[in-house]
Chain A
């Protein structure tokens, strides 16, 4: 075990970082501005709001069957319990709450399954009643005294279950096509595959996974007349506001959604769940604030999850390892009612040069809750398949896996021939490979051994689309240098508060501690959903724009005749050291400059529509629709961030225990606004990658289409003792095409491909290729012990 702990290092940063321009400014390794609030218990998360002095508490009753109808709800015992105030069921809710359209259908919901709209049960754990009482205990007790009778039907649980319906994702994506959904294809891949001298044709599988943020799915609602306030941790406050308005028949302006701190999200709080409108309705009915704390188990079925996927990959190559054919077919499970899919062939068909490519995605309808976004939704499963297959090809062609990537590297995507704005894939491989010591690897599987431990080294590529959304921000500068930045972006642990403060400090030339940032509230100007790794790029760019507007106003004021910088060129005025400076080095204080404008403070409101977004993007953003632009959706170019993942696994020859003692990644993400928060994002992603490969899977009882490891004792995630060494290396990269500040986004990049790197390392350790995640002791029981 001592060896499995590995040598001790934490997060070495090999290459030099971009030189910080100013203390606390863009590029500076600035500790989180909200760190103090978080470590002292002062930060208020959605679940820390109780809506007023005398809230009532809601408890959900959820269905005991996965498919069928409710025939009767006997609530007499529940209503008789002291403290019970109200019980919502389909009999008294019905169409008072509209189902709402799903996110992928240009709506806001994670699912269109409206739980209390009718007697229909669509999946196990569907909400069948909401009990409201004076105390949490009374509500919970009453919920358990409800006697719900069902007419149940045999449910279809997943792939291969009788009764599932498989349809082509393409034929079901009319809406999607408008959003750029496609079926990437070029050349004649089947023929090229047939003719290829080296071939791989394999199937891969990834499991169901649940986000399990540590903060539960809670909701607090309170009404003041016709005005509703919702406190709920959210990655998309404007989306929630507009979605609730649609569901409840209100104007968006009647609803305020507040979410200053979010206790983990990972995609689970991007689309509105059906619980929120029900709690709002309950609060309206009883005339009191209502607090819902859904249980950990209920979180598995009332919110979304990463659905299980299957893949068939066919790779053809010539003797030198050059790809001649790539065919990626994917299958994804979804609910009976919704068409959610991730369709990661967008990315997997564009990673390598190849003249003949084909792809196809099918969705499989089962009696399950609707899946949704979970950290790097398309890339995690689809690159597991592709990057596993690439490793298989490397062995088939007798080429080092890193060299195979080099042979197939490209600066243009192969489908339409569009140029990458920047692509540092091989730089990342070389940097991470050197840090990892890849050159000391012996290629033969099972050839590296340390006592009882069989050692395997594996690698894989990661890629993630660079996406930017429309955004708005208001910035106010006061004469004493105090700055207030307001935008309804979300800090889901990413460091948004910090990087936004850094941007304003940088552009306005004030110390970081003078900047106050307000986020996560529909009372502020809108920002996109915190998803698709867009927040830093979208929001820092618009904040910079607002700051530049303030600079222009000050410049105009100080350069007028008789002004403190009389005669200077307004275009060459800069803000620095809490002063206004011209290009001759003459300074004026902020106080004088603001006074000269004739105002008590200088304020600017800015909007930004990114390259590739429609002219209506801002109007849509106010309606809660984020419409991110970028990735593979642009007509003139393609923009992705890249990286390289390396992992060492050790498998005990006697017990078959699998450890991942060493994780090394190098990533290029354009401008790194804050190396500290950026590193946390990437490192968290790397740990998610290991977790996805070795720990996480939601198990399904196929008879009842029911999750059975639905708590944190049974759903495995790593603890501190599982993670012993993580190296996260930045590869410097400049890309000013993607946006003015050159930011690519990192929140999801570290998570992709690592699952494949682990599987490839397991092959290297044992000679056994595992094509189905997660990889656990039982996966390698039959592996021969190398002699």
Chain B
């Protein structure tokens, strides 16, 4: 039995300590937001936040996570009440097929939490572990800019679409 703190709630999970967090989230806790895209830490679809830092949940054994704060995309808001970053992704039309999006949102979340006004270069650098195959790159970056507290007019607003 492993005790995990997920999205603010303490959950008991019957899993071996070496089980990747991603499997526990998806199969034991029914939190399907984080996705299985490779199991190798190569695509970022499984990204969650651990104590505010981005992590590939497909590579992270749950046995290492006692007492750590795990945040998944479900922890940022719900379909009825999306959080501000999620709303920015909706407004910028950043989800295409949407499979990479939970990971993109979570990685962006960890950036904005420690740096609310990142430069474009900081956004691009920070987001580079996560892959999008639909080609929604421009919209994803625009969503992160929109959610940031940068004062200057965001680039995205110059192109109406």
Contacts and interface: CB of A to CB of B under 8 A. Distances in A.
A539 B96 CA distance: 19
Contacts of B34: 41
Contact of A48 (B32, B40, B42): B32
A37 B89 CA distance: 11
Interface stretch (A185-193, A209-217, A404-412): A209-217
A726 interface: yes
Interface string A700-736: 0000000000011100011111110010100000000
Interface string A562-601: 0000000000000000000000000000000000000000
A43 B98 contact: yes
A45 B96 CA distance: 13
23 contacts: A10-B142, A13-B159, A32-B93, A37-B79, A39-B94, A40-B76, A41-B31, A41-B73, A42-B78, A44-B32, A45-B32, A48-B32, A263-B98, A493-B98, A493-B134, A676-B93, A680-B93, A684-B134, A687-B135, A688-B135, A711-B40, A719-B137, A723-B135
Contacts of B35: 45, 47, 214-215, 263
Interface of B: 19, 23, 26-27, 31-40, 42-43, 45, 72-74, 76-79, 82, 86, 89-91, 93-102, 105, 120-121, 123-125, 127-128, 130-142, 155-156, 158-161
A11 B159 contact: yes
A214 B42 contact: no
B37 A214 contact: yes
A589 B157 CA distance: 40
B99 to A, nearest CB: 3
A263 B159 CA distance: 27
Given A11-B138, A12-B159, A39-B89, 5 more contacts: A216-B37, A295-B39, A492-B97, A675-B161, A677-B93
Interface in A2-31: 5, 8-13, 29, 31
Contacts of B39: 295-296
B131 A40 contact: no
Nearest to B127: A720
Interface centre among B34, B43, B93 (most CB of A within 10 A): B93
Nearest to B43: A712
B38 A711 contact: yes
A438 interface: no
B139 A493 contact: no
A38 interface: yes
Nearest to A47: B36
Contacts of B133: 211-214, 264, 266, 717
Contact of A726 (B37, B86, B102, B138): B138
**Interface on chain B toward A: helix, strand, loop, or mixed SS?**
loop
Interface centre among B23, B74, B123, B134 (most CB of A within 10 A): B134
B103 to A, nearest CB: 9
Nearest to B32: A48
A679 interface: yes
Contacts of B77: 40
A684 B158 contact: no
Given A214-B37, A712-B38, A718-B137, A680 B96 contact: yes
Contact of B131 (A295, A686, A719, A726): A719
Given A48-B32, A720-B127, A38 B158 contact: no
B91 A31 contact: yes
Nearest to A36: B79
A723 B137 contact: yes
Contacts of B132: 214, 720
Contacts of B127: 719-721
A683 B135 CA distance: 7
A50 B128 CA distance: 31
A676 B161 contact: yes
Contacts of A10: 138, 141-142, 155-156, 158-159
A198 to B, nearest CB: 37
Nearest to B80: A36
Given A36-B79, A679-B161, A214 B93 contact: no
Contacts of B74: 40-41
B79 A40 contact: yes
A22 B39 CA distance: 46
B93 A493 contact: no
Nearest to B99: A263
Interface centre among A10, A137, A726 (most CB of B within 10 A): A10
A262 B91 CA distance: 21
B161 A38 contact: no
A735 to B, nearest CB: 22
A293 interface: yes
A532 B59 CA distance: 38
A136 interface: yes
Interface centre among B35, B138, B142, B158 (most CB of A within 10 A): B138
Contacts of B134: 264, 493, 680, 684
A680 B37 contact: no
Contacts of A266: 133
A360 B146 CA distance: 52
Given A39-B105, A214-B43, A712-B131, A45 B95 contact: no
A597 B72 CA distance: 50
A210 B128 CA distance: 21
Nearest to B85: A39
Contacts of A216: 36-38
A723 B19 CA distance: 36
A458 interface: no
Given A711-B38, A712-B43, A29 B161 contact: yes
Contacts of A214: 35, 37, 43, 45, 97, 99-100, 131-133
A264 B99 contact: yes
B160 A38 contact: no
Nearest to B141: A720
A40 to B, nearest CB: 5
Contacts of A670: none
Given A493-B98, A717-B131, A717-B133, A40 B36 contact: no
Contact of B40 (A8, A39, A296, A676): A296
Interface string A402-428: 000000000000000000000000000
Nearest to B105: A39
B71 to A, nearest CB: 12
Contact of B33 (A34, A40, A262): A40
A711 B134 CA distance: 17
Closest 8 CB pairs of A and B: A41-B33, A684-B135, A263-B99, A493-B97, A38-B98, A687-B135, A38-B95, A11-B159
Interface centre among A47, A211, A680 (most CB of B within 10 A): A680
Nearest to A690: B135
Contact of B86 (A39, A211, A683): A39
Contact of A683 (B90, B121, B138): B138
B123 to A, nearest CB: 7
A614 interface: no
Contacts of B121: 5
Contacts of A39: 73, 82, 86, 89-90, 94-95, 98, 101-102, 105
A685 interface: yes
A103 B60 CA distance: 41
A293 B138 contact: no
A262 B97 contact: yes
Given A40-B74, A41-B73, A492-B97, A9 B79 contact: no
B56 to A, nearest CB: 12
A35 B42 contact: no
Contacts of B33: 40-42
